[in-house]
Structure 1
Amino acid sequence: MAWSIWYQRNKTQPQENPLPLCNIIGFAKNYLSDFRSMIRPSVQRKRDVPRKWIPPIADMVKINYDGAMFGESDMAGIGVVIQDHKGQVMAALFEKIAKPPTMDFIELLVARPTISFSAQLGHVQGVCEGDSESVVNALKGSGMENSRGGHLIKDILSLSNSFQSISFAHVGRQGNAVAHALAQQARSSPSSQVWLKCVPTDILSFVLNDFPFS
């Protein structure tokens, strides 16, 4: 308001046309409204990302994978869990690997054996979920084929041909808790470990939290 009065006062100089005093309030309100509209951040509608683990439909499996960088060493861990529509664990694994350059790269390194592992178990229909949106988008055909991890993407898509039907989906970290816990557990293990029809006892709580009636 004070700026508007000052602005109109300056227009009282020769050859200027100031607003009548009674119109200054309206001028100030309009100016402030225009200013706010210019600085207001654009709001983009974001696609909702599932926060909780959601079971697949009958006759399909859900394959969750995750990677974890270990800050105290040059190693990283990968974790995979496969569950059916009842939430029952079909298989799980973790493995310690050399630390890759980026988190996206480790997610690709996990996704490749994840698809192979599920195919070797005889699964033919599945949903493969990870919590890296950029990697999931790449696997859905949104670029990165010519990036540093492009050869991994091509391998993953080639392995996917072993399935009658498979899709890739992005899930929030909370919905990927079992795979994340498995990847973290690789920190204290010198070698990879695989479980069929079960998970380690200290991972079971994450499974029950996802699907308490399994």
Structure 2
Amino acid sequence: MPPVRSEATTVRWSPPSENQVKINFDGALFGESDSAGIGVVIRNSERVVMAVLSEKIVKPQAAEMVEILAARRVVLFSRESGFYDPVFEGDSSTVIKSLQDRIVSHAQGGHILKDILSHLNSFQSCSFSHIGRQGNAVAHALTQRARLSFPLEVWMESVPPDISSFVRFDLRV
């Protein structure tokens, strides 16, 4: 299994090293419906957007479960997109800590965490870091976009117009 580097501190978005991509992800429950959303943004070391994903899913019973499902989706999307040296960043400290420590004992989501860990074998290396909400704004905006969109939308080397302002703001941080 590839090494999973552990970073216990909360960080703001910073670019990955030259040969890596940074992949931010988020999940959110939509209170007004039976759905939830997942948002993912993949950027290179120059902060150029390589791919984004916005997905509407069936609402799980707990907020932590949607974050676990978002973590699985980001790992699968990275593989599907051909990025094998990712730095994954999410704003759920509990989920990130579980992935850093390889803990799969969650009563509700342990089986999904185990599935995520099994997929890490296909990466050259990867790491998981907790990032504050402000540093995860693009992924969060993509999550919210899922509320009113098709079940799955993916853009390669571009972003939807309504998300571009979040990307521009992120460049200034």
Q: Which amino acid aligns with 2:30?
A: F
What is the CA distance between 1:147 and its match in structure 2?
Answer: 2.2
1:55 aligned counterpart, secondary structure: coil
Q: 1:128 to 1:196 in 2, by over 3 A?
A: same
Q: Which residue of 1 aligns with 2:153?
A: 193
Q: Which residue of 1 aligns with 2:15?
A: 55
Mapping for residues 35-50 of structure 1, pairs under 5 Å: 48-50=9-11
- The separation in 1 between residues aligned to 2:9 and 2:57, in whole angstroms, is 32
What is the CA distance between 1:143 and its match in structure 2?
Answer: 3.0
- The separation in 2 between residues aligned to 1:95 and 1:134, in whole angstroms, is 22
- Deviations 1:75-107 (CA, angstroms, capped at 9, x unpaired): 111111100000001100111111111111101
Q: Which residue of 1 aligns with 2:46?
A: 86
- The separation in 1 between residues aligned to 2:91 and 2:154, in whole angstroms, is 22
TM-score with structure 1 setting the length: 0.74
- The separation in 2 between residues aligned to 1:72 and 1:198, in whole angstroms, is 30
Q: 1:48 to 1:167 in 2, by over 3 A?
A: closer
What is the CA distance between 1:189 and its match in structure 2?
Answer: 1.1
Q: 1:154 to 1:57 in 2, by over 3 A?
A: same
- The separation in 1 between residues aligned to 2:104 and 2:122, in whole angstroms, is 22
What is the CA distance between 1:113 and its match in structure 2?
Answer: 1.7
Runs of 4+ aligned structure 1 residues displaced above 6 Å come to none
Structure 1's unaligned 5+ residue stretches are 1-46
What is the CA distance between 1:116 and its match in structure 2?
Answer: 1.0
TM-score with structure 2 setting the length: 0.91
2:155 aligned counterpart, secondary structure: strand
- The separation in 2 between residues aligned to 1:158 and 1:144, in whole angstroms, is 11
What is the CA distance between 1:208 and its match in structure 2?
Answer: 1.3
Of 137, 144, 147, which aligns to 1:177? Answer: 137
Q: Which amino acid aligns with 1:174?
A: Q
Identity %: 52
1:211 aligned counterpart, secondary structure: helix
What is the CA distance between 1:74 and its match in structure 2?
Answer: 1.3
**1:76 aligned onto 2:36:** yes
- The separation in 1 between residues aligned to 2:48 and 2:101, in whole angstroms, is 30
CA RMSD of aligned residues (A): 1.5
**1:136 aligned onto 2:96:** yes
Contact 2:22 2:43 in 1 (8 A): yes
- The separation in 2 between residues aligned to 1:180 and 1:79, in whole angstroms, is 6
- The separation in 2 between residues aligned to 1:108 and 1:144, in whole angstroms, is 11
Of 65, 89, 100, which aligns to 1:105? Answer: 65
- Higher-Rg structure is 1
